[in-house]
């Protein structure tokens, strides 16, 4: 299957091939993100105007768009050059005025001679007690009244494109849609009551009432499903291709794991035990593992990952754990070192810092297999890093890199199984959009001994009390984080805010007690600042959001977040997770500046009510919408034109199981429905997926 099917050529031709669209207009369409007629198909009206014929403007709830039959009365030319040209008209019950600016009177005398009957349609407003229709949208002879659409669709526009043009261009596009065979599972289609594709796309562009414009209208829902289905098919193809890749059979006997579990002061949670079982099952199969381990802050992902790494060693191979930053890699090393000693395995770290003889020695030990588990940063990707027998790659904090990099890692991994860990609870619908090519294990229980964190809202004018509270905590030997506000303007102002706060806290709490870390610092300085806090040398760490991911200081029991209302929910939840890691009861103080907006207040209250990251993520999605939630540009989540991820999460789930089932029954998409599905992939611009089939 080399190129696009011929039946689709007209939909992928240049926009200027559409009637009424010239080169200049085509450029305006491109501003809307529309490249070809096909894109117009999926640019649906977001509203509609009821233009059914009314008896009179008298009964209308003005201002409103009204269509009425009128008898034309006298014309009044403007008294000044810039004035309005007015025509008095009467409908069945009352009279009103048609108003035209910059009008040529002789033109309107011909178009609307006195005594003539016309049907006019447009927006009517009251002006000094008189009803006026300024520049009617339609003026037609009574016998041509059917030229006015009874319900006119309203499209999203950009400058240079009018509703009339959009209407015309979409009609010209609809005429080019070939008859398509059905790609949706017949049972699903019947159950949902969806029309055929051709019928659906026609109906979506020709709504008859406002209900037809809503996302739940069958025609629209079907098109949304088509988008989701194409996306999930692409992910399912990627997944199938990954699975067809031979993996390594890593059968572990559990002897090293048993040593570690025996030495733990607590029993793993049910969720941890379940996740370990799922992962070891994948590792023991001949296909390659591609699994996401999703758990909230403090759900114990590291233990699960370590058990998997031990399984790789038990089966005679090596494992690698990759972290996004040097400081997180070192933290993993510190956390895992005692466990590795219990198991009796050799654990080492490799980062960009390793140079010269030391680096060479580590590389040699990796190649012979003497280093059994390696912790590292992206430095493990470099060409001269060779493993003796790499069985498992664990990637920490996935949302820092997308599907592309997962594939790269696969190429490096020489059949290695891949486990991705993320501490960002992602709502189900987004997880499906972003990680639909992976299998997912979820840790939804907190390990025993994690104390709840008390969360309180404090207004900024009580900052003095907050500082007193920090002083008391420091005197009891505790440590505190102080997170500075996100300043919109620039990183420079972030910096000024952080330095300002640092100076004031230093003045209040004493020299040497307060440290500062922010995004603009050279990495070495940042690491030094973090280390001083981790070792307990400084008691208060003033920071911008650089601490949100992963830093572990068990002795820190208070986190103050300044101007908390300016942060996103998920981010606040991540930040709060920096405390509550030790024995002491911990507190998170959300400082806000009054007066707060309604949504700002709701956000902070959600945090006060719950510590469940999944609940918080779902709420965040409802409040902010997908694009905001993950900064879509860098997230790898596709932009859909019709589908709405927040409100149609259920459809995404159906699309995923439908796509996976179709490929299980017809891996090369050769059946009638399979061929229809190929057509869908071409229609939805899923060239990536098509490459996967043709390379197959």
Give strand ranges (E) for 16-142.
47-50, 53-54, 64-76, 84-90, 95-101, 117-127, 130-134, 138-141
CB 428 within 8 A of CB 301: no
Say if residue 229 is preceded by a cis peptide, omega within 30 of 0: no
Give the domain-ending residue among 558, 588, 610.
Answer: 610
Determine phi and psi for 292, rounding to 5 degrees.
-105, 130
CB 564 within 8 A of CB 600: no
Please provide the average confidence, as pLDDT, over all residues in the chain: 85
**Residues 292, 269: one domain?**
yes
Structural domain of 231 = 223-245+644-695
pLDDT at 621 over 80: no
* Distance from C-alpha of 355 to C-alpha of 353, rounded to nearest angstrom: 6
Number of domains in the chain: 5
User: Is the same domain home to 347 and 385?
Assistant: yes
Do 390 and 352 share a domain, yes or no?
Answer: yes
What's the token pair of residue 217?
């209208």
Q: By three-state DSSP, how is residue 231 classified? A: helix
Residue 507's CATH number: 3.40.50.300
pLDDT mean over 457-464: 91
Main-chain phi, psi angles of 83, to 5 degrees: -70, 180
Tell me which DSSP letter residue 5 carries: -
**How many angstroms separate the Cα of 536 from the Cα of each of 378, 384, 515, 521, 590?**
29, 38, 11, 21, 24
User: What pLDDT, on the 0 to 100 scale, is given for residue 62?
Assistant: 86
Residue 163, CB-side half-sphere exposure with 13 Å CA sphere: 13
Domain co-membership, 389 together with 294: yes
Beta carbons of 67 and 53 less than 8 angstroms apart:
yes
Is residue 173 located within the same domain as residue 315?
no
Domain shared by 230 and 319, yes or no: no
Kindly state the tokens that stand for 586. 């911990």
| One domain for residues 270 and 393 | yes
Ramachandran assignment for 219, one of left (phi > 0), alpha (psi -120 to 50 degrees), beta (any other): alpha
Segment 528-556 shows an average pLDDT of 81
Residues belonging to the chain:
696
Contact 652, 232 (CB under 8 A): yes
Structure confidence at residue 550 (pLDDT): 54
pLDDT in tens, 66-111: 999 999 999 988 888 778 899 999 999 999 999 998 877 688 888 8
Q: Is residue 216 part of a domain?
A: no
Of the residues 443, 468, 498, the one at which a domain ends: 443
What is each CA distance from 683 to 198, 384, 487, 585, 619, in whole angstroms? 13, 43, 43, 56, 34
State the DSSP code for 685. T
Same domain? 476 vs 535:
yes
Q: Is the pLDDT of residue 520 over 60?
A: yes
Q: Could you write out the DSSP letters of every residue in 243-258?
A: HHSB--------HHHH
Joined tokens for residue 191: 């159950």
Residues 422 and 535 in one domain: no
Strand arrangement, sheet containing 390-396? 347-350, 373-376, 318-322, 390-396, 417-422, 290-295, 439-443
Q: Are residues 479 and 535 in the same domain?
A: yes
Domain presence at residue 190: no
pLDDT tens digits, residue range 656-671? Answer: 889 989 998 998 899 9
Task: Indicate whether 496 and 576 sit together in one domain.
Answer: yes
**What pairs with residue 68 in β-bridges?**
54, 120
Pairwise CA distance, residues 96 & 415, whole Å:
79
Distance separating alpha carbons of residues 67 and 7, to the nearest angstrom: 41
Same domain, 286 and 421: yes
pTM of the full structure? 0.61
Q: Is residue 448 in a domain? A: no
Structure tokens at 456: 């309180």
Query: Which of 443, 462, 482 represents a domain boundary (last residue)?
Result: 443
Residue 622 lies inside a defined structural domain of this protein = no
Residue 169's nearest CA partner among 178, 156, 182 is 156
Give 202-244 pLDDT, tens digit per residue. Answer: 999 999 988 999 888 999 999 999 999 998 898 888 777 766 6
* Mean pLDDT of all residues in 371-387: 85
């Amino acid at each position: 299957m080399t190129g696009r099917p011929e039946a689709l050529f007209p939909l992928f031709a240049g926009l200027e091939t559409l009637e009424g669209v010239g080169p200049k207009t085509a450029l305006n369409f491109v501003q809307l993100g529309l490249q070809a007629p096909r894109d117009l198909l999926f640019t649906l009206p977001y509203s509609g105007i009821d233009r059914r014929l009314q008896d009179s403007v008298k009964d209308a709830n003005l201002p409103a768009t009204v269509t009425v039959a009128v008898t034309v009365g006298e014309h009044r030319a403007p008294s000044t050059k810039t004035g309005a040209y007015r025509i008095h008209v009467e409908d069945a019950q009352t009279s009103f005025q048609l108003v035209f600016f910059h009008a040529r009177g002789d033109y309107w005398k011909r178009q609307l001679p006195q005594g003539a009957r016309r049907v006019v349609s447009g927006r009517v407003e009251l002006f000094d007690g008189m009803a006026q229709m300024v520049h009617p949208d339609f003026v037609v002879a009574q016998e041509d009244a059917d030229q006015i659409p009874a319900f006119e669709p309203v499209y999203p526009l950009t400058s240079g494109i009018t509703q009339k043009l959009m209407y015309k261009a979409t009609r010209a596009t609809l005429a080019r849609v070939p008859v398509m065979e059905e790609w949706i599972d017949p049972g699903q289609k019947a159950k949902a009551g969806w029309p055929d594709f051709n019928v659906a796309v026609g109906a979506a562009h020709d709504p008859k009432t406002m209900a037809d414009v809503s996302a739940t209208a069958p025609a629209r829902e079907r098109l949304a499903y088509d988008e989701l289905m194409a996306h999930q098919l692409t992910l399912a193809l990627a997944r199938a291709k990954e699975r067809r890749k031979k993996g390594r059979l890593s059968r572990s006997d559990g002897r090293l794991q048993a040593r570690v579990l025996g030495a733990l002061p607590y029993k793993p949670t049910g969720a941890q035990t379940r996740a370990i079982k799922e992962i070891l099952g994948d590792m023991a199969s001949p296909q390659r593992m591609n699994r996401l381990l999703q758990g909230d802050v403090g759900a114990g992902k590291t233990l699960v990952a370590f058990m998997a790494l031990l399984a790789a060693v038990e089966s005679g191979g090596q494992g690698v754990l990759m972290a996004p930053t040097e400081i997180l890699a070192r933290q993993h090393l510190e956390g895992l070192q005692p466990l590795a000693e219990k198991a009796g395995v050799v654990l080492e770290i490799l980062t960009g810092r390793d140079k010269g003889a030391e680096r060479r020695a580590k590389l040699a030990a990796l190649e012979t297999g003497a280093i059994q588990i390696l912790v590292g940063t992206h430095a493990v990707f470099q060409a001269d890093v060779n493993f003796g027998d790499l069985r498992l790659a664990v990637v920490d904090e996935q949302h820092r890199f997308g599907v592309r990099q997962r594939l790269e890692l696969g190429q490096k991994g020489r059949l290695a199984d891949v486990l991705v860990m993320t501490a960002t609870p992602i709502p189900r619908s987004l997880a499906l959009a972003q990680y639909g090519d992976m299998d997912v294990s979820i840790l939804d229980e907190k390990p025993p001994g994690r104390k709840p964190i008390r969360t309180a809202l404090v207004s900024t004018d009580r900052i003095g009390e907050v500082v007193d509270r920090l002083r008391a905590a420091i005197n009891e030997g505790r440590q505190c984080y102080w997170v500075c506000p996100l300043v919109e303007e620039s990183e420079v102002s972030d910096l000024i805010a952080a330095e300002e706060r640092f100076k004031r806290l230093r003045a209040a709490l004493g020299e040497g007690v307060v440290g500062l870390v922010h995004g603009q610092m050279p990495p070495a300085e940042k690491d030094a600042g973090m280390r001083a806090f981790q070792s307990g040398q400084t008691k208060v760490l003033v920071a911008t959001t650089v601490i949100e991911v992963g830093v572990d200081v068990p002795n820190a029991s208070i986190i103050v977040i300044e101007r908390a209302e300016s942060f996103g929910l998920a981010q606040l939840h991540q930040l709060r997770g920096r405390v509550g890691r030790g024995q002491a009861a911990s507190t998170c103080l959300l400082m806000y500046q009054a007066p707060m907006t309604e949504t700002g207040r709701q956000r902070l209250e959600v945090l006060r009510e719950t510590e469940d990251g999944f609940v918080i993520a779902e709420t965040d999605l409802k409040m902010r919408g997908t694009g905001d939630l993950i900064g879509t540009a860098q997230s790898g989540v596709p932009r859909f034109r019709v589908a709405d991820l927040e409100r149609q999460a259920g459809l995404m789930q159906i699309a995923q199981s439908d796509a996976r089932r179709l490929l299980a029954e017809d891996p090369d998409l050769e059946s009638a429905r399979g061929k229809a599905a190929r057509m869908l992939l071409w229609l939805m611009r899923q060239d990536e997926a098509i490459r996967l089939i043709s390379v197959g």
